[in-house]
Structure 1
């Protein structure tokens, strides 16, 4: 009687395949560099010890609406006239260089409208070679400013 040996088919051992896949996933997660989206650079002015106190009523208040309009000190303009921001703020800053500029964008307003206004302010800041006191209010500050304006 002859015993027949079973021929074993060659195969790749897959018992540790899940472990290898897991280690590869962990390796790629740890070594991948995630790109961070950079927003607009906004450099805050340095804190000075003897800050002149400016009455909030004297601040330039720019309010941006979802309809494509904005107001500067309660005078209404369309976003197509964004160059008026440069002219108006320039005239106000010539009188008082530390005059705060409040840019209040409605949450439903287009992002591009706010960027266009901030671009005009940055252009003015570069031309005057001084940092402007630009501020974007929090919701609490927004309510306070609107109460003061009424």
Structure 2
């Protein structure tokens, strides 16, 4: 009787497949470049050792609403008239160069409306060749300014 040798089926060795997959995952994690979204850049002024004491009513208060309107010192404008920010703030800053400008955007307001106002202030800053004192209020400051406006 003749014994026939067992014929083995060819197969792909998968014992090291998990190791290879792990190494590929580690490789891709280490070589992937994550891009961070950059928002608007603000250059903060250096700390002033002798800050000027200004009253809150001395500031220019610009409030932006969700309805596409904004107010400058209680005078209402449509966002299409955003160029008036330049003229109004220019006239006020010519009198007092360190007059603070408060830009209070309602959380429901469109982002583009706030950017349009800030663009006008940036253009004015470039034309005047000096930095303007622009600030965005905290919720506590916002409540204080709104009480003062009433």
Query: Per-residue CA shift, 1:62-119, capped at 9, x if unaligned?
Result: 0000000000000000000000000001011101111111100001100000000000
In the other structure, the counterpart of 1:143 is: 143
2:62 aligned counterpart, secondary structure: strand
Q: Offset of 1:29 from its aligned partner?
A: 1.3
In the other structure, the counterpart of 1:61 is: 61
Residues paired across the two proteins, number: 150
Instruction: Give yes or no for the alignment of 1:88 onto 2:88.
Output: yes
Q: Which runs of 4+ in 1 moved over 2 A?
A: none
In the other structure, the counterpart of 2:73 is: 73
Q: Offset of 1:52 from its aligned partner?
A: 1.3
In the other structure, the counterpart of 2:120 is: 120
Instruction: Give yes or no for the alignment of 1:14 onto 2:14.
Output: yes
2:94 aligned counterpart, secondary structure: helix
1:94 aligned counterpart, secondary structure: helix
TM-score by length of 2: 0.95
Q: Offset of 1:19 from its aligned partner?
A: 2.5
Q: Offset of 1:9 from its aligned partner?
A: 2.5
> Is the deviation greater in 69-78 or in 49-58?
49-58
TM-score by length of 1: 0.95
In the other structure, the counterpart of 1:107 is: 107
Q: Offset of 1:26 from its aligned partner?
A: 2.0
Provide the C-alpha distance between the structure 1 equivalents of 2:52 and 2:139, rounded to a whole number of angstroms.
25
Provide the C-alpha distance between the structure 2 equivalents of 1:145 and 1:86, rounded to a whole number of angstroms.
22
CA RMSD in angstroms comes to: 1.1
2:28 aligned counterpart, secondary structure: helix
In the other structure, the counterpart of 2:28 is: 28
In the other structure, the counterpart of 1:49 is: 49
Unaligned runs of 5+ in 1: none
